[in-house]
Chain A
Amino acid sequence: MEFFTRLIPPDWSVAELVLRSTVETLMIALAGTSLAVLGAIPLGFLAASNVTPGWLSHTVKWILGLIRSIPLIVVAIVLVTAVGLGPFPGALAIAFHSVGMLAKFFAEEYETAEEGILQAVRGTGANWSQTLRYGLVPQSVPQIVAFIVYRLEMNFRDAAVLGLVGAGGIGYYIQLYVRGFQYEKVAVLLLTIIAVVTALDQLTYWVRRWVR
């Protein structure tokens, strides 16, 4: 109860600092998501059993499961130890962690593709990659885009926590102010995070409507 009463009034003197670290967190999320998408596109094809031989798609799916099973915070700690403090290991940790989920979702989406269309494109004499490009991808694009923007939103929330282990962004200040019992400043942090998440949510909606 005391926690809530002490949130008010927010101490806006830290606004600039908070804003700067929020932007950093956003950048970590964006960079991490972009890297993850770059990895998840080929991995998604390799994990989709309708376009990749079973032995390979099963192996890739198993590896993706392994990646997903490692908690983000553990990945972040390992990477901070390996490459040092800052936003760079944060982005890498986000990328590594989300590639496991994105590639799995991509693969599952590809697997729902209409087999007849794939056969029709293959039937023109198209090779494997052409069949993916002209038979599979056009069928899956709206869902793929929806997954990406959703993952971006998730990654922002995840990245906000990464500062706890020294991987850059807003998390560092969350930890700092919470531990210092400076709840008026924590209030500013919380309001900023809520604002950004709401904005991202709206963005997700627009993007999904735009790509149909």
Chain B
Amino acid sequence: MIEVKDVHVLFGNTLALDLESLRIEAGERVFVLGHSGSGKTTLSRLIKGRLRPTSGTVRVLGEDPASPKPKVRREIQRKVAMVDQEFFLVPRATVVANVLSGALGRVPPLRSLLGIYPQEIWERAEDILGEVELSGLEQRRVETLSGGQRQRTAIARALMQEATIIIADEPVSNLDPELAEDALQLLVDCAARRDVTLLVNLHQPELARRFASRFVGLADGRLVYDGDPAGFTRADADLVYRSSQRRKQKERDNSSDSAKPVAPATSHSGIRLVRP
């Protein structure tokens, strides 16, 4: 379903992602763990086709998501829905307008420009809004919603897309802890009802453990864990969350020229680990 092979992504001189091989099969619930700057977002942007790898291949549903052919690209865009960290809803538009826009890839383009959606699309939107418990707020502008409501609107838009894969990039980092768990539960339930493959970037392993069928741990753009959430031990967590400091330390020791930790490398410079 998703296949990443020998992929390097360079931002300037910084190696943001270096993945030898990663395969994700249909129906998996993969949670990608790692610090900010570990390459989680870069990985999801590759899969969504917003980014072309510097080298290597990415295949999503058998196609290149960053293909030069616009038709192929649009088709992949439609089949891969994305819930961004910042939601990126249209603030001045109503909840239902935002949700309906999820269906833009499969409605008659000319009529949609006039704001006309087919009847069954409207009914679909109503159902989904009920599913995410936003019924009654259809005509509210998004800018008047609370964070949790915006989150659910963003999920509703992604569901409206009827995608095969849903990617959520730090979907709950803007929410309170209690709300975060509910939102993840909602996302996972909705995905399960549709047999959708789920890929969630998260930096809280304890939260992820409750929902994931598989963990992928990234640190400094490299794969440091891939497998069962149950097998994700303290030591693995250390590897995911501490290795960046160690690696930086090591690079500093080993070379004098190449170590240049610019963004998006981690910014956790407060703690400095001394190598044993």
Contacts and interface: CB of A to CB of B under 8 A. Distances in A.
Nearest to B75: A125
Nearest to B112: A130
Contact of A124 (B50, B75, B77): B77
Interface stretch (A8-16, A89-97, A135-143): A135-143
B271 interface: no
Interface of B: 48, 50, 74-75, 77-82, 84, 86, 88-93, 97, 101-106, 109, 112-113, 157, 160-161
A80 to B, nearest CB: 38
Contact of B81 (A123, A130, A133, A134): A123
Contact of B77 (A125, A135, A142): A125
Nearest to A127: B109
Interface of A: 114, 116-117, 119-127, 129-130, 133-135, 138-139, 141-142
Given A124-B161, A125-B74, A139 B90 contact: yes
A114 B82 CA distance: 17
With most chain A CB atoms within 10 A of its CB, the pick from B50, B101, B157 is B101
A116 B88 CA distance: 6
Contacts of B89: 117, 120
Given A119-B50, A127-B74, A133-B113, A114 B88 contact: yes
Contact of B84 (A120, A124, A127): A120
Contacts of A129: 109, 113
13 contacts: A114-B88, A121-B101, A121-B104, A123-B77, A124-B101, A124-B161, A125-B105, A127-B109, A129-B109, A129-B113, A130-B112, A138-B93, A139-B91
Given A122-B77, A130-B112, A116 B86 contact: yes
B88 A117 contact: yes
Contacts of A117: 88-90
Q: Kindly name the residue among A116, A124, A133 whose own CB sees the greatest number of chain B CB atoms within 10 A.
A: A124
Contacts of B101: 121, 124, 126, 134
